[in-house]
Chains A and B, each alone.
Chain A
Amino acid sequence: MAHVWRMIAQRLALGFLTLFVVSLLIFGATELLPGDFAEAILGQSATPETIAAIRRDLGLDLPFHTRYIGWLSNVLQGDFGKSLANQQPVIELISKRLGNTLFLALYAAAMAVPLALILGILAALFRNTVFDRMSNALALTSISFPEFFVAYILILWFAQTGYFPSIVRFSPGIGFGESLYRSFLPALTLTLVVTAHMMRMTRAALINLLASPYIEMARLKGMSPMRVILRHALPNALAPIINVVALNLAYLITGVVVVEVVFVYPGLGQLMVDSVSRRDIPVVQAVALIFASAYVLLNLTADVLSTLSNPRLMHRR
């Protein structure tokens, strides 16, 4: 087992290194700003004196590495600075919305992952039948649809007829079931967007294995096709499946931005879009850092899990 722990530790270290570089990139991106931060804050009303004052205020006259270390240590303590738009601390803007976005992403994942796995296994089981072709064509189509198209179709079908609300509002004190109901449409949109890819990859991973001799053997022994797939093919297909599931969960992170805007969902994605058009750099930095960390961590988890699903690595002699 020792080497497994060592490998996981290595991956974790690499993951944190990536996070560090990502934070450097997100902070460093402001250096590309035409002019600088102080001019961006002041806009039209910039005079040399006010610019110098703000520079001193924000520490912009310090060298890059000093500012970066200061920013990073503040971020690690939960201080993302103040929003340029309304002078509120960024952390206050973010904290409630982060929970909402996580709720939506988990909700969508809880629907999408089982659905994709079941459909993928069924498609592999009934490959080259009408069911397989239909689900394949549908998957290809839904990959090609922009998220907002899917979202508006769902609004037309479900919200128009009054089954579900098309605008998500969380009032304080609503129960868990009520929040599930209110955010059903955005979660369903995200599910539809990510399921197709996961399903196709599950099917491909399984079918890839079906040509191998040991599957042939299992079939010759007279096993039922269902058992061949579930007991013999699936365990060996786990690594690619875990990878694609993680990749798509990471994709949820970006999908969430558009979907939140369509349904006016009070989450991070909406905040980010609003801040981009206002060019509110501290908020964008903070949200980008959160999204990027989630992305890096998901990829890391997938890496570790797909290693753990490989018995050759787990029980190496």
Chain B
Amino acid sequence: MSILISIFWFAVAVVGAMALGWLFRAFVVAVSPQRQAQEMRTAPLTASFGLLVILIYVLVAALAPIIAPFGESEVVGGEFLPWDSTYLLGTDNLGRDMLTRMIYGARNTVGIAFTITALAFFVGTVLGLLAAVVGGWLDQVLSRSVDVLMAIPSLIFSLLLLTIFGTSVLSLVLVIATVDATRVFRLARSVAQGIVVMDYIEAARLRGEGKWWLITREILPNAMAPLVAEFGLRFCFVFLAISGLSFLGLGIQPPTADWGGMVRDNATLITFGDLTPFLPAGAIALLTVAVNFVVDWQLHKSSGLKE
């Protein structure tokens, strides 16, 4: 029975999400200037729902100290209190307010994931474009080392590196960024290699432009579309990876609030049929789904597929 009820609620959630997406799209179309409105009008409901979710997460993360009712790691009451009017989502295994932890979790988990993705992208793109532009031995050295790093599954490699450097936020950021930069490098290099052979690049070279100019002014603008889509996907992977690591107790360390760790700390509640531990897990899933929806839309738009 419980499965049927869950399926029913899932269907309700899907319909509700689409309705929200529709409302949000209508709202954006109404308030934004002509050109953006044109673009939004053609957005699928899934994508506008995704945009709405991302917007909410960003707002919550930015305003965390203002909207959170308590302090981040403040012990406010007994352990595992049920939901009531003071503690809207109850308390966790140490008696900290669950809602507060959720709100700060948005700031920490999403913020760290974003930092890692940005770092991985900066390093990966710069090296990838450089490898494509310079070619020769630099390309060989970089590509072969990336091949070697990619021959080890990323989670295993991160675990190995975390053993050596210890578990702290800094080493987490550096380790995951290193692992992910290899994937970005692959993409950036292959995209740039298609561009480097174009006539206008040749023209720019003959004009005597330097490498930095070639990369930033000629190649990057043309490689932007696939890289932006990849940024969304990478963010999802990084986000899932650090929540996974935090869930294993090897990522973001307590008392910093973090969704992966919150699931682990409160998992015992599940055996008693309490759904509270699903909230942080669901928050992770919801954001990943939302980003995926938006990326799907962007990819569809840039590929010009009409099917």
Name A residues whose Cβ lies closer than 8 Å to a Cβ of B: 18, 21-22, 25-26, 29-30, 32-34, 128, 140-141, 143-149, 152-153, 155-157, 159-161, 166, 250-251, 253-254, 257-258, 261-262, 272-273, 275-277, 279-281, 284-285, 287-288, 291-292, 295-296
Pick from A21, A33, A143, A148: contact of B244, CB below 8 A: A148
Across-interface contacts of A251 in B (CB, < 8 A)? 153
Please state if A146 and B163 are interface contacts (CB–CB under 8 Å).
no
| Among B163, B165, B275, B292: residue with most chain A CB under 10 A | B163
Q: Is B134 an interface residue (CB 8 A)?
A: no
Please state if B248 and A258 are interface contacts (CB–CB under 8 Å).
yes
Q: How many interface residues does B have (CB within 8 Å)?
A: 49
Pick from B148, B163, B273: contact of A279, CB below 8 A: B163
Pick from B153, B267, B281, B289: contact of A141, CB below 8 A: B289
Please state if B270 and A152 are interface contacts (CB–CB under 8 Å).
yes
Please state if B2 and A291 are interface contacts (CB–CB under 8 Å).
no
Pick from A25, A149, A156, A295: contact of B285, CB below 8 A: A149
User: How many Å lie between the Cα of A253 and that of B157 in the bound state?
Assistant: 12
Name B residues whose Cβ lies closer than 8 Å to a Cβ of A: 2-3, 6, 148-149, 151-157, 159-167, 236, 240, 243-244, 247-250, 260, 263-264, 267, 270-271, 273, 275, 277-278, 281-282, 284-285, 288-289, 292-293, 296, 307
Across-interface contacts of B154 in A (CB, < 8 A)? 254
Please state if B267 and A254 are interface contacts (CB–CB under 8 Å).
no
Across-interface contacts of A254 in B (CB, < 8 A)? 153-156
Across-interface contacts of A288 in B (CB, < 8 A)? 152, 156-157, 159-160
Across-interface contacts of B236 in A (CB, < 8 A)? 144
Pick from B152, B285, B296, B307: contact of A145, CB below 8 A: B285
User: How many Å lie between the Cα of A18 and that of B307 in the bound state?
Assistant: 41
Please state if A160 and B166 are interface contacts (CB–CB under 8 Å).
no
User: How many Å lie between the Cα of A258 and that of B154 in the bound state?
Assistant: 14
Please state if A152 and B267 are interface contacts (CB–CB under 8 Å).
yes
Of all chain A residues, which has the CB nearest B154?
A: A254
Of all chain A residues, which has the CB nearest B162?
A: A276
Please state if A284 and B244 are interface contacts (CB–CB under 8 Å).
no
CB contact under 8 A between A143 and B292, given known A276-B159, A295-B151: yes
CB distance from A71 to the nearest CB of B (A): 15
Across-interface contacts of B161 in A (CB, < 8 A)? 29, 32
Pick from B263, B264, B289, B307: contact of A144, CB below 8 A: B289
Of all chain B residues, which has the CB nearest A254?
A: B155
Please state if B288 and A145 are interface contacts (CB–CB under 8 Å).
yes
A to B CB contacts below 8 Å, 28 in the list: A21-B151, A26-B152, A29-B161, A29-B164, A140-B289, A140-B292, A144-B289, A145-B288, A146-B260, A148-B263, A152-B277, A155-B271, A157-B2, A157-B3, A157-B6, A166-B271, A251-B153, A254-B153, A258-B244, A258-B247, A273-B159, A275-B163, A284-B159, A288-B157, A288-B159, A292-B151, A292-B152, A295-B151
Of all chain B residues, which has the CB nearest A285?
A: B160
CB distance from A101 to the nearest CB of B (A): 13
| Among A21, A161, A166: residue with most chain B CB under 10 A | A21
Please state if B263 and A152 are interface contacts (CB–CB under 8 Å).
yes
Please state if A146 and B285 are interface contacts (CB–CB under 8 Å).
yes
Across-interface contacts of A153 in B (CB, < 8 A)? 278
CB contact under 8 A between A277 and B153, given known A22-B148, A152-B277, A161-B2: no
Across-interface contacts of B263 in A (CB, < 8 A)? 148-149, 152
Of all chain B residues, which has the CB nearest A292?
A: B152
Across-interface contacts of A277 in B (CB, < 8 A)? 167, 249-250
Of all chain A residues, which has the CB nearest B267?
A: A152
Please state if B153 and A146 are interface contacts (CB–CB under 8 Å).
no
User: How many Å lie between the Cα of A111 and that of B107 in the bound state?
Assistant: 38
Across-interface contacts of B270 in A (CB, < 8 A)? 152, 155-156, 160
CB distance from A205 to the nearest CB of B (A): 16
Please state if A291 and B153 are interface contacts (CB–CB under 8 Å).
yes
CB distance from A79 to the nearest CB of B (A): 20
User: How many Å lie between the Cα of A145 and that of B280 in the bound state?
Assistant: 12
Please state if A152 and B163 are interface contacts (CB–CB under 8 Å).
no
Please state if B243 and A26 are interface contacts (CB–CB under 8 Å).
no
User: How many Å lie between the Cα of A282 and that of B105 in the bound state?
Assistant: 34
Across-interface contacts of A18 in B (CB, < 8 A)? 148, 151
